[in-house]
Structure 1
Amino acid sequence: MNIDRRRALALFGFGGAGAAGEAMAATPQGLHAGPARFDHGVASGDPLSDRVILWTRVTAPDAKAPVGVRWDVATDPAFKNIVKQGHATADASRDNTVKVDVIGLKPATGYFYRFRQTVNGKAVGEAVVGRTRTLPVGPTKDVVLAVVSCSLYPAGYFNAYDAIAKLPRVDAVLHLGDYIYEYGAAPDQYGMASPTAKTRIPNPPHELLSLADYRLRHAQHKSDPAAQAAHARAPWIVVWDDHETADNSWVGGAENHQPATEGDWAKRKAAGIKAYYEWMPIREPVAGALPEASWRGFQFGDVATLLMTETRLTARTHQLDYSHHLAGADGKPDFAAFAVKLKDPARRMMGQGQEQWLAREVDGSVKSGTAWQVLGNQVVMARVANADLKATMGEPAFADLLAKLPPYLAKAVEQSRALAAIDTPSNLDAWDGYPADRQRVYDIFKASQARPIVLSGDSHAFWANELWDDAGTTRVAAEFGVTSVTSPGYSDYLPGAPIGKAFVARNKEVKFTDHAAKGYLLLTLEHGRATGELMAVSTILSETYETKVLKRFVVTPDGEGGVKGLAEG
């Protein structure tokens, strides 16, 4: 399957964690005594005001033998003031990863942590060290978050991660999904046309299906120096999107999963989720809970409530598709019938349980006087109709563009332009494909008079959007969409085309969008303003790069609830 071609068309259209201890526990017996390494670095995540997850992975000559590990948490980089410590065991049941939920920490405090191997109860060898931070409680001046998504290994160097690692301040890193991709290393696979692919070959070289496959791909990403540096810099708060399992996944399957040749979807999904929990610094699900139900909240003092949602694997209805759902009985496009299908209230992104949780959390945040309600969300929420490049470029320039494109891509651009004339969504896999469910989220915001900021990934583009309700009379939220770390977007397929300008011209809710830049979003939240800086790296084809602010936007709260429009800062 030619993934680059298919993805270009798509653009148009368990186990428990290691226990935390107040004091050091006895080292288990029968552990591996040979030298072990920490080749995959360290990470921390899911910070709360009194606790944080610490993570590492042990590499030993005998991968099947358990390895003892000691962890320490200190207030200084020399580890002279150790405040927490304990032992854990790495074993094959969790791919030799270690995850510790350290409790009893102080709020709004920076810590250093380290892991070392233990032999006969004593720590030996070199330590692997990271930095983390707990969340504030009560009055808080500001919060600084770095936001990323979509890190396709063969497509380029993870310079956005490296840039985040070098920030003078970052309280937490949010990863909004597609931390890994499931594709293989064949020449026609997604990302393999990049000049960097020859030295960044996916491991394993085939599409991910088994638990062993997903583990190897996570290990490859954690072996990347830039990824290791960013993980060691600050705590991460993460959510999966589709590629942690398979492209365009939904509750019952995925576009990139063929049961006839790739087996049972439930088994593949379970493998992807298990590897994710093993390899990511995310708190383990509570006993009896579905691993897929990963929605959870984080309170940053009185400045922000961050609510991380799950819109892929627990309730999402199968995506509509123009090629399959637009044709009427006579084979001709039936836009009226398609609109009825699209607006069906039964089409869901979130299930009822998650929706009720979101309503409670948003309402509680507003009533407690928290300045901002921030939604950590995988896909773009704004209404984004197909853009008309011909109208934006003019007919001669548009004709010249089409002449330079391969036939399949020229056809897709023409079809997108035709769909633009009838106000159809550009991406049915985003919230645009589930408008009734989106309005239910907006009703939650409006009922609580929230001041929402929606953060979105997936699209491989920067966005600054104003979100309006279905009636188009009430602005309910601001949205910042973050571009990819490396994954290709529209501009990679249509270099030089004024794609952002065309989307802005076509869509009321889109105030700015850029489909060429790679990088991250730097979000600074204060009581009277939220500043989103779209941070672009100059290249992903070389490890030598520069970083610049592509655009800066400021959001201010509305005195009656809600937010005012985006202002360019």
Structure 2
Amino acid sequence: MLVSDTAAVRRRAVLAGGAVAVAGAGLALAAPAHADNPVFRHGVASGDPLPDAVIIWTRVTVADDATPGSGAGAAATVRWEVAADENFASITASGAATATADTDHTVKVDVTGLAPGCVYFYRFTALGQSSPVGRTRTAPALGASPDGLRFGVVSCANWEAGFFGAYRHLADRADLDAIVHLGDYLYEYGRGEYGGRTGSVRPHDPANEIVSLADYRIRHAQYKTDPDLQRLHALLPFICTWDDHESADNSWSGGSGKHDPAVQGPWADRKAASARAYLEWMPVRASRSGSGVQIYRRLRFGTLAELSMLDLRSYRDQEVKPGAGWREVDNPQRTLTGRAQMDWLTAGLASSTARWKLVGNSVMIAPLVFPPLDPATTAAFTQALGIPQSGLPVNADQWDGYTADRARLYRAITEHGVSDVVFLTGDIHSSWAADLPVNAADPAGPSAGAEFVVPSVTSSSLGEVMQAPPRTAAVPVEEAIKGVNRHLRYVELDSHGFGVLEVTAAQTQMDWFYVVDVTDPRTGLRHGASFAVPAGGRMEPRTTPAS
């Protein structure tokens, strides 16, 4: 018998017994693998749920010297099973794969023929050992109308900056359908190059900045040994995209601000190595695109929601430089998305029949400028001084540095009458809620949607960069930002944590939760804020998290 997984059933369970108590039954599924299971020491994971399919993943350690990135170790046969029950009395699908050094002994299986809207359990067997049991779930049927969906939303997890308490608290919940990871799943820096408030809490492996395929494999493997991340992967499917740090800081199609070809070799080689390791180690369903790999993709959750996951690194032009470079911000030839991805995104939004059009968006799309200007009245000012038409961008790495692409997207949304578009964003280590007016100087005017930005799991916040105690120096900055950018409804620049997005026919609501101390592996948690977007409406505050 398949386990039906309706949102109403899960909410009743949480209300009746508490999320931690209910999730306790699943703790055995997600026990850290490396402690007593040397073959499957990197755990198990699942991802990209479809109504009839899901990716399952593991890595097999075939010998003690067959460490990640080593290229050592013989091939091994890995059997996998997917069942409708935790005891595997009813096997739904099974098969065998081969783990080889060519893929760093990782195994990734796209399991098909599954039933929609159901919980499944999965496991792997190799070299006489069984992996931890993972739990996953398929998306609702395309024509189904689920009462609700709930996603954990995360980004920016720097190993050296702290412990992944945000992942632990997400794993303690029993009401989530999936985890949406918006990028910077790992960081490329060498030891001590980019820590947190108190420096490096735990050292990166390898010690150097990662550049080669072996380097990237070793770093991915290290992150997969974290017990909180390992447990969360085993409990829920992940839906991921990459941002810059999966390759190198502020990367673009032809390089990175931190990449020196004279020292580190051709950028194309480094990018290919980082992409290969990512696709080996992550439960992501990628497709071929010419000579490269395409990870932008779309997932449907019945008639309630459609999620478009973007790739905002592989096709973008180089970020403009301050000063004379400001003139290039409005250049219509510059792109963030690339033409093919923009066409795919706008066509998908225009044709979507889902109530909510969600966009997994690694960098902030809401304007953050000083001051926000009205392009219709500032042409001479722009011509004389070279200031972008909408104002000076604070961060040209975001959509603010590629205003022509943002205008194309907004125009497609408004001209096709697309409603209920919500962007889910990471990257900037802070929390934001924003309306998306077509003209930022007129926040009450026509809107292209709304945006929720989630904080970092551990990566340094503004307050930490300023070496200021929490909720001191950042507070006046937050108020100043909101005062100048009136479309911004919430700004919190200090805290680490995650978001929980609830989607119903009536509204989408984002609840921000913040960990108390990233240097404490058992850190507590607090509710930070909640904002909702009613169907057909504008952003509104909420006093309590969705229940």
The number of equivalent residue pairs is 473
Which of 358, 371, 376 is 2:345 aligned to?
358
Matches within 5 A, 1:399-438: 423-438=391-406
Gaps of 5+ in 1: 1-34, 119-123, 328-337, 389-418
Pair 1:377 & 2:355 matched: no
Gaps of 5+ in 2: 1-36, 67-72, 373-386
Return the offset for 1:233. 1.2
- Native 8 Å contact 1:465 1:566 kept in 2: no
Equivalent position SS for 1:505: helix
**Residue in structure 1 matched with residue 455 of structure 2 by the alignment:** 483
**Residue in structure 2 matched with residue 399 of structure 1 by the alignment:** none
Q: What is the letter of the counterpart of residue 298 of structure 1?
A: L
Q: What is the letter of the counterpart of residue 41 of structure 1?
A: G
- Native 8 Å contact 1:155 1:197 kept in 2: yes
Matches within 5 A, 1:294-313: 294-313=295-314
- Native 8 Å contact 1:156 1:196 kept in 2: no
Return the offset for 1:194. 4.8
TM-score (norm 1): 0.80
Could you list the per-position Cα deviations for residues 208-238 of structure 1 after superposition, in whole angstroms to 9, with x for gaps in the alignment?
1100000000000001001101111110010
**Residue in structure 1 matched with residue 157 of structure 2 by the alignment:** 151
Equivalent position SS for 1:197: coil
Give, in whole Å, the separation in 2 of the partners of 1:278 and 1:211. Answer: 11
**Residue in structure 2 matched with residue 284 of structure 1 by the alignment:** 286
Return the offset for 1:205. 0.3
Return the offset for 1:493. 2.0
Which of 500, 504, 526 is 2:504 aligned to?
526
Which of 429, 435, 451 is 1:460 aligned to?
429
**Residue in structure 2 matched with residue 172 of structure 1 by the alignment:** 178
Q: What is the letter of the counterpart of residue 486 of structure 1?
A: T
**Residue in structure 1 matched with residue 245 of structure 2 by the alignment:** 243
**Residue in structure 2 matched with residue 565 of structure 1 by the alignment:** 539
Return the offset for 1:468. 0.9
Give, in whole Å, the separation in 2 of the partners of 1:536 and 1:116. Answer: 38
Give, in whole Å, the separation in 1 of the partners of 2:336 and 2:111. Answer: 33
Pair 1:506 & 2:507 matched: no
**Residue in structure 1 matched with residue 95 of structure 2 by the alignment:** 86
Equivalent position SS for 2:423: strand
Return the offset for 1:294. 1.2
Give, in whole Å, the separation in 2 of the partners of 1:481 and 1:291. Answer: 29
Matches within 5 A, 1:210-289: 210-286=212-288, 289=290
**Residue in structure 2 matched with residue 14 of structure 1 by the alignment:** none
- Native 8 Å contact 2:461 2:495 kept in 1: no
TM-score (norm 2): 0.83
Return the offset for 1:444. 2.0
Give, in whole Å, the separation in 1 of the partners of 2:539 and 2:519. Answer: 36
Q: What is the letter of the counterpart of residue 42 of structure 2?
A: H
Percent identity (aligned): 39
CA spacing shift, 1:455–1:514, aligned 2, 3 Å: same
Pair 1:105 & 2:89 matched: no
- Native 8 Å contact 1:468 1:509 kept in 2: yes
Give, in whole Å, the separation in 2 of the partners of 1:141 and 1:484. Answer: 29
Matches within 5 A, 1:177-188: 177-185=183-191, 187=192
CA spacing shift, 1:312–1:155, aligned 2, 3 Å: same
- Native 8 Å contact 1:154 1:194 kept in 2: no
- Native 8 Å contact 2:43 2:131 kept in 1: no
Could you list the per-position Cα deviations for residues 305-330 of structure 1 after superposition, in whole angstroms to 9, with x for gaps in the alignment?
100011111x21110121xxx15xxx
Give, in whole Å, the separation in 2 of the partners of 1:555 and 1:549. Answer: 19
Which of 124, 146, 152 is 1:140 aligned to?
146
**Residue in structure 1 matched with residue 410 of structure 2 by the alignment:** 442
Give, in whole Å, the separation in 1 of the partners of 2:490 and 2:198. Answer: 29
Give, in whole Å, the separation in 2 of the partners of 1:535 and 1:214. Answer: 30
Return the offset for 1:449. 2.1
Give, in whole Å, the separation in 2 of the partners of 1:485 and 1:342. Answer: 30
Equivalent position SS for 2:276: helix
Give, in whole Å, the separation in 1 of the partners of 2:509 and 2:415. Answer: 25
CA spacing shift, 1:79–1:242, aligned 2, 3 Å: same
Return the offset for 1:241. 0.3
**Residue in structure 1 matched with residue 129 of structure 2 by the alignment:** 125
Return the offset for 1:340. 3.3
Could you list the per-position Cα deviations for residues 358-388 of structure 1 after superposition, in whole angstroms to 9, with x for gaps in the alignment?
12211221xx2x1100000100111112599
**RMSD value, Cα:** 2.0
**Residue in structure 1 matched with residue 85 of structure 2 by the alignment:** 76
CA spacing shift, 1:106–1:92, aligned 2, 3 Å: same
Return the offset for 1:70. 1.1
Equivalent position SS for 1:86: strand
Return the offset for 1:196. 6.8
Pair 1:340 & 2:327 matched: yes
- Native 8 Å contact 1:439 1:470 kept in 2: no
Q: What is the letter of the counterpart of residue 94 of structure 1?
A: T
Pair 1:206 & 2:208 matched: yes
Return the offset for 1:535. 1.2
- Native 8 Å contact 1:88 1:98 kept in 2: yes
Return the offset for 1:481. 0.3
